[in-house]
Structure 1
Amino acid sequence: MGEKKKAFTNTALLICSVIVALVLFDLALMPFNLVFNSTNLTQLYFEDPTKEQFQTISQEQFKQWSQPDPILGYLPRMGEKYAYSNLGTQHNSFALKKPAQVKRILMMGDSIAAIGFLGKALAQLAPGKNQIWNGGIFVYSTFQEVNFFERYLRKINPDLVVLEFCLNDFDGTPIILKSQKEETLVAKMYLGSNFFSPWLFRHSTIYRIWLSVKKSLFHRPGLEEEVKNNLARLHQLSQQTVLSC
């Protein structure tokens, strides 16, 4: 009986020692905010008219272009001195009150929509009859797009909502991290939101390592269903908006 008790005590002490060691290891790494391949760190692009190409912007430029948001990860800065108006779309010459016999088309998506190639093509198909409002935002996922539409874009009362979908729209819900220099890092998971804990992701390096292993063993679990649900919700919201016009 004494041997069993001793073995149990030794096992319990070993487990406690491992837990304490892991916690101390995690605390030591916490200030570095190490992010592994379980995430897609945001990398934004902007149009350089002098070179007619898109270039990676710096972290400082990202901070100037965007603002943190606890739900969406980040929002574009909006106002007269920024590219986006307070309605959530890029600035244009249209009044909020829509003229008769004019179709208002809202373009949504990530960088593909923000660049505006398809929107410009649609405008040229019916000059003067189509109003193209660009609500595309660089690196946004479907989770961000549907919530941004509900918060801002539906206010313009579009007749038609066009979502430009790209494969990287399968990237999941964004999570904000802070670097040692207090820089805002936006990470998007390759896992559905039901497959990870945002709180643990923010605070535990070990948890991020475990997610990297999990991601390498499974192919984006939960994301397909999450994207399907987001698109269904966007469809429902856009229909409600169009019918209420």
Structure 2
Amino acid sequence: MSLIIHFQENFRGNIEFLNCKFTYPTRPDTQVLKGLVVSIYRKAIDSASTVSSYFQLIDGHQSHSVNVPFLRSQIGIVSQEPVLFDCSIAGNIQYGDNTRSVSMEEIVEAAKKAFLHDFVMTLPDKYETQVGAQGSQLSRGQKQRIAIARAIVRNPKILLLDEATSALDTESEKTVQSALDEARKGRTCIVIAHRLSTIQTADIIAVMSHGVVIEQGTHQTLMAKKGAYYKLVTTGAPIS
């Protein structure tokens, strides 16, 4: 018999990785994670390798013992290439939470936090503007801000940002980064990033090489160490 943990209002979103190992099914001989050990306590962590799909402990409980639908309801995701549906801006934001009826007031509030509202109000049809197939009527930055608003409307305890600014130009990155900084407030946030300008305010930065965390700390402490992270920031050279 397996124990399924059901959380109520006391769910915090603390995450722990304890000696996690991982290989892709298509590459069973290549170990991507080699004993990952990282603890995240309702703040933010940034890493140079994908770990977001492999939570081991949630609020001190084994992840396999947590009610899966509930856990998914507590997680918001913004990826490098967000999937938009061929409907209105409002409709795309509403998709963030299909478990209930999302009000227009909530959509607007999420859009404001995503730095999207002012742009939407310049459009003739406002929130009823059709985005086109895969968001073809919008720029990359605009699509990302819709994805951020979609994540916010779910009001998740855990936010995953997977290379969310890597495909943007410099000007768009500034706006989207401001939106992401707003979205991160009060949440456990995992940021997967190679563009280091996006992670410098993180509470913890975990630098990974060949599946192992080789450095952890804030931007300031890692820069002071003048190790792998310092090399990445100052020269852009890859970790050997």
Q: Which has the higher contact order (CA 8 A, sep 6+)?
A: 2
TM-score relative to the length of structure 2: 0.28
User: Based on CA coordinates, which of the two structures has the bigger radius of gyration?
Assistant: 1
TM-score relative to the length of structure 1: 0.28
Select the structure that is richer in helix.
1
